[in-house]
Copies of this chain bind each other. A is one copy, B any other.
Amino acid sequence: MSTLWKSRYAQRTLGIKSSAIRELLKVTQRPEIISFGGGLPAPDVFPVQRFEEACHKVLSEHGAQALQYGTTEGYQPLREMIAHNLARYGILSTADNVLITSGSQQALDLIGKLLINRGDRILVEAPTYLGALQAFSVYGAQYVPVPVDEDGLQTEQLDASLRAGPKFMYVLPNFQNPAGVTLSEGRRHQLILLADKYGIPIIEDDPYGQLRYEGDHIAPLVVLDRVNVRRDNGFTLGNVIYLSTFSKTLAPGIRLAWIVAPEDVISKLVQLKQAADLHTSTFNQYVAYEVARDGFLDQHVKLIRQVYRERRDTMLQALHDYFPHEVTWTHPKGGLFLWVTMPEGTDAQALLRAALAENVAFVTGDCFYPNNDQEGGRHMRLNFSHSQPEQIREGIRRLSVAVKMQLRTNHVIH
């Protein structure tokens, strides 16, 4: 019968390959492996006790409603809380601009569904978030990659790419996954001006924005868009759709994120979400609201920043201490990842095999480039949020053994 099924598959399955990261994660379940591979938050900072109190409160006070079907838009008090919290960053929205999604991955899927026809070109950073490429590829997206450097997307290279008429730009301005770089303030202004000039909307994905460990907050694109492009009153937003999530600040296992967009865009997304999963878990929305309220979220984010800053610093120090000088890496001001660049000609796949032999794992850079870009082959993405500092130091030491061996094989070190 499997032949029968295969003959039935729609065209859109052809573009999807099984995720390299997913396969890697299976290997790294082995306890002796120190993994910098996943994008996992540290489980030791999950507010388990607060979740338990919230579950108790929700079930004893709202049991029947919290376990019942809910509206597609999401739990109203949670949407209001999110709109309220966004205001501190200058994002002026109401609950009507907020759609609760089943994780940011669903936000990317719904946006792909809303906007992408087969063959449409999407402008992305190179490298960019693998999950976005997976979500958009289902709808037949083609990609226009534009390189990033330490200041994020290289906006001075954008003009030609925008003239090619992409359907939208997908950008991670803060502590980007995978490269850990942040789009500078100057480039943000430039990006907004270019988006306006060419009439190309922006999807601003900001899962890590609150996890800044140094430097000053930079206004998000959705705010700069308001300043530059729109001058009318009210809360109708403009040219930017903004995404964020509780996955990195509360816990990813509750699958709660949100889209902020103009009301007419939200209303289209609501129709698509209704057809996709009716609504996000009512229970989880009630619980997250109870967990986050009364200032807990802010206080908890401070704790996470402290823990992750220490881990980032430990990794940077260990890289400095153990890695050969031919290798460079980014200095992320926040987030979960840093990005290592090996000398040209390095084979990251061979390096990964050598690293796994040393019981340490990472994700090879090629996963984060669309169009099988060769550039990815000499990069590693390293996650610093998930492991304890002593593991991080030991893991980088092990990785340095594999790196040196690999460089020697390539005759880069003589």
Q: Name which residue of chain B comes closest to A280, CB basis.
A: B255
The answer to whether the Cβ of A409 comes within 8 Å of any Cβ in the partner chain is no
Quick check: is A16 within 8 A (CB to CB) of the other chain?
yes
A356 within 8 A of B: no
Q: Which of A1-38 contact B (CB under 8 A)?
A: 1-2, 4-6, 8-13, 16, 18-19, 22, 38
Residues on A facing B (Cβ under 8 Å): 1-2, 4-6, 8-13, 16, 18-19, 22, 38, 40-41, 43-44, 46, 48, 51-52, 55-56, 59-60, 63-70, 72, 102-103, 105-106, 109, 113-117, 120, 131, 134-135, 137-139, 167-168, 199, 201, 229-230, 236-239, 247, 251-255, 262, 264-265, 268, 271-272, 274-284
Q: Which residues of B contact A46 (CB under 8 A)?
A: 63-64, 67-68
Stoichiometry (number of copies): 2
Chain B residue contacts of A251, Cβ below 8 A: 67-68, 283
Distance in Å from the Cβ of A14 to the closest Cβ of chain B? 11
Q: Report which of B103, B277, B280, B284 forms a contact with A278, defined as CB distance below 8 A.
A: B103
| Residues of chain B with a CB closer than 8 A to A114's CB | 9-10, 13
User: When A56-B52, A102-B102, A275-B16 are in contact, do A69 and B253 touch as well, CB less than 8 Å?
Assistant: yes
Give chain B nearest CB distance to A258 CB in angstroms.
Answer: 14
Given contacts A55-B56, A67-B51, contact A5 B265 (CB under 8 A): yes
Chain B, residue nearest A70 (CB)? B253
In contact, A117 and B275 (Cβ under 8 angstroms):
no
* Set B11, B40, B139, B255: member contacting A10, Cβ < 8 A: B139
Known: A10-B139, A52-B55, A59-B55. A262 touches B69 (CB 8 A): no
Check A278–B105 contact: CB distance below 8 A.
yes
What are 6 A-to-B residue pairs whose CB atoms are below 8 Å? A1-B239, A2-B265, A48-B63, A105-B277, A138-B275, A255-B282
Given A18-B271, A230-B1, A43-B68 contact (CB < 8 Å): yes
Q: A60-B52, A138-B272, A268-B13 are in contact. Are A67 and B113 (CB under 8 A)?
A: no
Q: Which of A11, A43, A66, A277 has the most CB of B within 10 A?
A: A277
Residues of chain B within 8 A (CB-CB) of A19 are: 271, 274
In the bound complex, what is the Cα–Cα distance between A101 and B121 (angstroms)?
30
Chain B proximity of A230: nearest CB distance (Å): 7
A64 to B5, CA, bound (A): 39
Q: How far is the CA of A113 from the CA of B14 in the complex (A)?
A: 12
A70 / chain B contacts, CB cutoff of 8 Å:
253
User: Distance in Å from the Cβ of A138 to the closest Cβ of chain B?
Assistant: 5
Please, which residues of chain B bring their CB within 8 A of the CB of A281?
102, 253-255, 281, 284
7 shortest interchain CB distances as A-B pairs: A43-B64, A253-B282, A48-B63, A67-B251, A55-B55, A67-B253, A134-B275
